[in-house]
Amino acid sequence: MARLYYNPFMKKLTIEDKTFNLKDIKQLYPAVVVKTGYGDETTEMSIEWIDTESKGRVEIVSYGVFIVISDKEKHSFLCDSRDELDMLISQIAKQLQ
pLDDT given at position 7: 54
4 located within any domain: no
Residue 94: closest CA among 21, 35, 13: 13
Residue 97, domain member (yes or no): no
Instruction: Report whether 87 contacts 5 (CB < 8 A).
Output: no
Domain assignment of residue 74, yes or no: yes
Residue 55 lies in a domain: yes
Domain housing 44:
12-92
Which pLDDT does position 11 carry in this prediction?
Answer: 84
Average pLDDT over residues 4-10: 55
pLDDT at 92 over 70: yes
Which residue, among 41, 38, 96, 40, has the nearest Cα to 67 in the 3D structure?
A: 96
Asked if 94 and 7 count as a contact pair (C-beta separation under 8 A), the reply is no
Give this prediction's pTM: 0.83
Domain membership of residue 86 (yes or no) is yes
Direct distance between the N- and C-terminal alpha carbons of the chain, in angstroms, rounded to an integer:
22
Report how many domains make up the chain: 1
- Report yes or no on 84 lying in a domain: yes
In a domain, 43, yes or no: yes
Note whether residue 85 is domain-resident: yes
pLDDT digits (tens, 9 = 90+) for 35-84: 998 999 999 999 999 989 888 888 999 999 999 999 999 999 999 999 99
pLDDT at residue 3 greater than cutoff 80: no
What whole-number distance in Å separates Cα of residue 77 and Cα of residue 16? Answer: 8
Q: Which of 16, 25, 1 is nearest to 96 (CA)?
A: 25
pLDDT for position 20: 95
